[in-house]
Amino acid sequence: MSAIVDETHDPHLQSWVASANDPDTHFPIQNLPFGRFRRDAAGPWRIGTAIGDQVLDLERAGLIAGRDVTQLMQAPVPQRRALRAAISRALAVGAASQERTQAALLPQSAVQMGLPCEIGGYTDFYAGIHHARAVGALLRPDTPLLPNYKWLPIAYHGRASSIDVSPSTFRRPWGQQRGPDENAPPGFKPTARLDYELELGWLVGCGNARGDPVPMAQAEDHLFGVVLFNDWSARDIQGWEYQPLGPFLGKSFASTISPWIVTLEALAPFRVAPVRPESDPQPLPYLDSPFNRSAGAVDIALEVRLQTAAMRAAGNTGDVMSASNATDSYWTPAQLLTHHASNGCNLRTGDLLGTGTLSGARPDQAGSLLELSAGGKQRIVLSNGEARSFLEDGDCVILRGVCARDGYRRIGLGECRGTVESAVP
């Protein structure tokens, strides 16, 4: 089990990398996330750890052999914990290897980040119950949640090839859309109802053989870590195409993830019991375990910020649109993985499990514009006087996530930033 608090989480631990001791950094020595970077567009990808505003080249520092991130991710948990401890010791004040390690540092601003791993498969869940209830109410006011919702983690298989790393840009997609006249043929044009979705992406570390389910007691050993995830959505394309088989072109055009994988080991101090109303059915036995009941959820505070092109030109960092928490997920990361593999499906290293939109219980905590605008019926007035129901060209959406708990060092997931470009190049 990865939820072990040890000396690497000591809140008093300081790094000789000065920026890592800044109280506002997402990447103190207690975090140590992994990512892939290169010095320039022609250079090879290397494996690094974020420390303050720097990147530590792990191979050059002598902490790993080679540049195969898959091998690192599928390592057994004890081996992962040993590597984390070695990196922590090398970066801590008083480290004997400081001179060698310092030579392996680069400013984050001087490198190009890539996808943190090869994502071969991507499944998007619908685990945010407040989002499911709010969107369901727009379609089925009397029965917003379908009968299966509280019994199993609902999901669809998404398109892995169109996942990009932050900061990303993408072109407004074209697609079939139905007009107000139900008797008229649909049109083919750029989406007018482009939306974001505030999600987390859990990345599989060690996979499972086809035909071998993963029990709850072992599920977390198969998870490597978490990234921020924006599942961009064209609501008008989606609304016309999704029946009866679900999302397709309204989702597959672009998704954006943050570049640093925050490991389960780093998240250990922020594990909490999942909240489920007593009146709700308890999970079936295959989706239950003592550990999951006591600490299966993760306390990650989440935020969505919208920066329009006009704001950017004026030096305005944008408006906070909403804030929620990873605990707003009805299903835990282990339950997502176990259910996915319960039929014998073989998950592989680097597969991404999206949580679905993580909205909070209040309307102002909605993780999508679809909810905030009541299905596009209400315009949201921004601080500079602009208004939005859905995204316009030039809009930039920034997701952020932070873990904070008394007695421990605050850590973050960095940011996930994506900008909408015109449908016409």
Active site residues: 131
CB neighbours of residue 205 within 10 Å: 28
The torsion of the CA quartet 149, 338, 326, 249, rounded to 10 degrees, works out to: -70
CB neighbours of residue 38 within 10 Å: 15
Residues constituting the chain:
425
- 229-252 in b/e form (b: 16+ CB < 10 A) is bbbbbbbbbbebbeeeeebebbbb
> Which two tokens mark 209?
């053989």
124 bridge partner residues? 156, 354
- Taking the CA atoms of 182, 366, 120 and 220 in sequence, report the sign of the dihedral they define: negative
Report H helices in 247-366.
Answer: 290-295, 309-313, 333-341
Q: In 258-395, which ranges are E strands?
A: 262-263, 271-272, 297-298, 301-307, 319-325, 352-354, 380-381, 387-388
φ, ψ for residue 219, nearest 5 deg: -60, -45
Going by C-alpha positions, the residue among 407, 69, 163, 85 that lies closest to residue 269 is 407
Contact between 117 and 45 (Cβ < 8 Å): no
